[in-house]
Copies of this chain bind each other. A is one copy, B any other.
């Protein structure tokens, strides 16, 4: 009983902290935090959770993801009750510059990832669990605090399937079923059986409890840690606002802090609180990860006269580079024979994870994996990366290190038609803070930039092409991030043609044709779209009278707009060839012509400008 009593006192302290910090901030989500307080206090202070509080990065720490990110006051209050956050610091919550933001970000050292866009925590936790079980082979567990309202998100059900499929018995979800969403009751209210039925049908072990009964909660964690072969979901009936009678289970209190009057009243109700109380957290087993020594890699080898698709070179690169980057993990969404991630799967099956047709979960899992110091390479069609834009967006706030590869870029995929064509992916990835966006034109440069991507710290997007394309580069050339290649130049170039990927080949063909007519063009391979090589472009602007950008991508947010932004302070007109007409099925060559981004389109444009 002593343990329960201690936890009751700690939970009271946590509630105290939640209330004073949100009232001080004048905003925040106290009621959403209060409903999960007993669940989380039991987890951290009841012995189940094992964490070295001095070393949040300890490889064998259990992980705790707040999928219901708006319960951040609870996250901060828990760690304050563990003695790792002072009351003074708590009172800076939501203030400019405080690491205690409105929703958790890694600025707070105990936040596993930035959350707050709902439905993303279970995939992140799944990634960490996959890593623990199959990559690190360490016994740590991943706990995910879930809201009931966010269980509507499809991404959670993707994680549900994948977790059962991968037998992740080291993944424990806890649903805080407090009945009330933001604007009213959830679909199932307090019908715990509704969650139990659905989640168990997906192959999870389920434990249904009263989320405010300390003994039941502790027993649930005890049971959960004995799981074998299946992930575990604790489904807890709770009361929103629990602990403050006048806000308990009441609609209209979502995201509302108590005012000073109400706070006084609530604290009186709470009763005496001992701010010197400190919750103890069990330490993890001090297991170490074996150090993995990078090994030398094979040389890049492509025959000069044999075209190879850049999507194939991507697959080759993953295989070739793995010895040098033993932290690589490769994920794909049911298209690995198209993206060529399957080459890696065949060679290193223990480091490849099939994520099935569930891109949101794949990206969330990649985030979790990257937060565990691995380098995830994630692939699908460029078009389907848009399925995970919210997850990609959130990763930028999580100090992530994910390498995305989108294949089948552009209209040049041909007959499959627009549903399969990536035409907005450059725009999407450009919006990600600090992202790197690379679009190689041949197999050699693809292999080089995959290595640059692996070395780089931060999110990288690599765009690959479906069709086979000729080899342009020699294997001793380098392709630094932020660089560009000038393939053709003279000091009498009339126009600079700036291309990437498939259009580099079109541009080279156009060059030859124009040269016959006495028109010299500078051909630039802008393989690094972000960051881009302003210096090379400036030099071209000094010589030429105009730029023509040409891309197999929509106009908005693509290479044309990139170059215009770069050239904002330089006086050179930038004309943009891109996909402007409704795309459709057809042969690749036909479609490139139709969209005027083929050699013919380039020639026409250059002639027009001269």
Residues of A bordering B, CB below 8 Å: 25-28, 69, 94-98, 101-103, 105, 107, 114-119, 149-150, 152-158, 161, 165, 181-184, 186-187, 197-198, 200-202, 334-338, 342, 354, 356-361, 383-384, 386-387, 389-390, 393-394, 397, 414-420, 423-424, 427-428, 430-433, 530, 554-557, 560-562, 564-565, 568-569, 571, 573-576, 582, 584-587, 590-591, 594
Whether B383 lies near A586 (C-beta < 8 A) is no
Whether B394 lies near A586 (C-beta < 8 A) is no
Across the interface, which residues of B come within 8 angstroms of A25, CB to CB?
Answer: 415
Across the interface, which residues of B come within 8 angstroms of A94, CB to CB?
Answer: 415, 417, 585-586
- Known A96-B587, A181-B334, A397-B418; 13 more pairs at CB < 8 Å: A94-B415, A94-B586, A96-B586, A96-B591, A117-B420, A152-B357, A153-B357, A198-B202, A359-B390, A386-B390, A427-B430, A431-B554, A433-B582
Whether B584 lies near A101 (C-beta < 8 A) is yes
Closest Cβ–Cβ distance, residue A76 to chain B (whole Å): 12
Closest Cβ–Cβ distance, residue A544 to chain B (whole Å): 16
Complex CA distance for A105 and B421, rounded to whole angstroms: 14
Complex CA distance for A181 and B158, rounded to whole angstroms: 16
The listed residue (B114, B150, B416) touching A357 by CB distance below 8 A is: B150
Closest Cβ–Cβ distance, residue A389 to chain B (whole Å): 4
Residue on B with the closest CB to A100? B585
Across the interface, which residues of B come within 8 angstroms of A393, CB to CB?
Answer: 383, 386, 424
Closest Cβ–Cβ distance, residue A250 to chain B (whole Å): 14
Closest Cβ–Cβ distance, residue A396 to chain B (whole Å): 8
Whether A420 lies near B116 (C-beta < 8 A) is yes
Residue on B with the closest CB to A568? B574
Across the interface, which residues of B come within 8 angstroms of A361, CB to CB?
Answer: 154
Whether A585 lies near B154 (C-beta < 8 A) is no
Whether A115 lies near B423 (C-beta < 8 A) is no
The listed residue (B357, B389, B431, B433) touching A387 by CB distance below 8 A is: B389
The listed residue (B334, B358, B386, B424) touching A183 by CB distance below 8 A is: B334
Whether A187 lies near B152 (C-beta < 8 A) is no
Whether A584 lies near B431 (C-beta < 8 A) is no
Residue on B with the closest CB to A360? B154
Across the interface, which residues of B come within 8 angstroms of A161, CB to CB?
Answer: 152, 187
Residue on B with the closest CB to A381? B117
Question: Oligomeric state, in number of copies?
Answer: 2
Complex CA distance for A334 and B431, rounded to whole angstroms: 26
Q: For A101, A165, A562, which residue has the most chain B Cβ atoms within 10 angstroms?
A: A101
Complex CA distance for A158 and B114, rounded to whole angstroms: 24
Across the interface, which residues of B come within 8 angstroms of A187, CB to CB?
Answer: 161, 165, 356
Whether A417 lies near B101 (C-beta < 8 A) is yes
Across the interface, which residues of B come within 8 angstroms of A95, CB to CB?
Answer: 585-586
Whether A181 lies near B356 (C-beta < 8 A) is yes
Residue on B with the closest CB to A160? B157
Closest Cβ–Cβ distance, residue A447 to chain B (whole Å): 23
Across the interface, which residues of B come within 8 angstroms of A115, CB to CB?
Answer: 419
Across the interface, which residues of B come within 8 angstroms of A197, CB to CB?
Answer: 201
Complex CA distance for A587 and B430, rounded to whole angstroms: 27
The listed residue (B105, B157, B530) touching A157 by CB distance below 8 A is: B157
The listed residue (B183, B419, B587) touching A337 by CB distance below 8 A is: B183
Whether A584 lies near B107 (C-beta < 8 A) is yes
Complex CA distance for A390 and B585, rounded to whole angstroms: 19
Whether A117 lies near B384 (C-beta < 8 A) is yes
Q: For A149, A415, A423, which residue has the most chain B Cβ atoms within 10 angstroms?
A: A415
The listed residue (B27, B116, B184, B568) touching A576 by CB distance below 8 A is: B568
Whether A387 lies near B117 (C-beta < 8 A) is yes
Q: For A361, A561, A590, which residue has the most chain B Cβ atoms within 10 angstroms?
A: A561
Q: List 29 A-B contacts (CB under 8 A).
A: A27-B415, A27-B416, A96-B586, A101-B417, A101-B585, A102-B417, A103-B417, A114-B418, A116-B418, A117-B384, A152-B357, A154-B361, A183-B334, A183-B354, A197-B201, A198-B201, A359-B390, A386-B390, A393-B424, A427-B431, A430-B556, A431-B556, A431-B557, A433-B554, A433-B582, A557-B561, A561-B564, A561-B565, A568-B575
Across the interface, which residues of B come within 8 angstroms of A201, CB to CB?
Answer: 197-198, 200-201
Known: A95-B586, A96-B587, A386-B390. A565 touches B560 (CB 8 A): yes
Across the interface, which residues of B come within 8 angstroms of A335, CB to CB?
Answer: 182-183
Whether A118 lies near B357 (C-beta < 8 A) is yes
Q: For A156, A358, A562, which residue has the most chain B Cβ atoms within 10 angstroms?
A: A358
The listed residue (B101, B202, B357, B576) touching A181 by CB distance below 8 A is: B357
Q: For A155, A335, A383, A394, which residue has the most chain B Cβ atoms within 10 angstroms?
A: A155
Across the interface, which residues of B come within 8 angstroms of A571, CB to CB?
Answer: 571
Across the interface, which residues of B come within 8 angstroms of A557, CB to CB?
Answer: 427, 430-431, 556-557, 561
